A = this chain, B = another copy of it.
Amino acid sequence: MISVVILGAGNVATHLYKAFRNAENIEITQWYNRSRSAISSYANTVEITDKLEDLKEANLYIIAISDDCIAEFSSELPFKDRFVVHTSGSVAMHDIDKKNQIGVFYPLQSFSKNAEIDFSEVPICIEVYEKENLQLLKDLAQAVGCKAHKITTEQRQTLHLAAVFVNNFTNQLYRIGHEICETKNIEFNILHPLIEETAKKIQHMSPFMAQTGPAKRHDKKTIKRQLKLIEKDSHASIYKLLTASIKSTHGFNSPKPIKTTKD
């Protein structure tokens, strides 16, 4: 049994709480938040507190708060030599105050408040300073059905950067698609199957191999016609830049596809 204290009440904290609550080998000792009201609706199922001095002993303390507050918050914890991790993709492990044992438990997924997630599909990137703590994080990931990946701080920050491209930026392209449809009274959901297929395709084929469309074909006529169709300058800038990017990837002197074990 792993005993855990969750610190914070944002999207990651809430998703962790739900995943831990359903896991057999995890006991949520307490859930702390500086404002009690954000978690008071859970008071029947878990001990909640808004006082750091009331924190109980546990195997692990998980800080799931805004990146900018992690360092300071960790220094305010009223104990030492316990095991404290954060859940951030970009904050250094060493930002956590060294009076405690430190580590990272970073779930590589995008958590929105109202979207349910199959937590067992979420890869967990883990990092520890004290080697003997590695197993605990592996066990915790396993207890919620997740695959754990031991990576370095640099790798985690790189993954977080890549995640911004494939998640936040991709979602913004969906938004632009939505806007473009809207101008001509087209239901955006006609595009849903294409969006799903685009994401599914690269689960078994590299994005290099999966590419199609006018930019890859260097089809100047279609590109010119589409640029004329675009009504917003900001959309045109993105169209031009990403078209150039695809052309350079698939040009005559293009870089080769990246070889990975799965391609």
Residue ranges of A at the interface with B (Cβ–Cβ < 8 Å): 11, 67-68, 90, 108-112, 114-115, 117, 121-123, 125, 149, 151, 154-155, 157-203, 205-216, 219, 221-222, 225-226, 229-230, 234-235, 237-239, 241-242, 244-246, 248-249, 258, 260-262
Contact = CB atoms under 8 A, between A and B. Distances in A.
Given A237-B241, A242-B169, A174 B202 contact: yes
Contacts of A159: 181, 186, 190-191
A98 B230 CA distance: 29
Contacts of A162: 176-178, 180-181, 186, 191
Query: 9 smallest A-B Cβ distances: which pairs?
Result: A168-B213, A199-B199, A174-B207, A175-B207, A162-B177, A166-B177, A162-B180, A169-B242, A158-B184
B195 A167 contact: yes
Given A110-B197, A167-B194, 12 more contacts: A114-B209, A115-B205, A115-B210, A121-B193, A155-B186, A161-B226, A164-B226, A170-B195, A172-B211, A173-B173, A188-B262, A189-B203
A112 B201 contact: yes
Contacts of A114: 205, 209
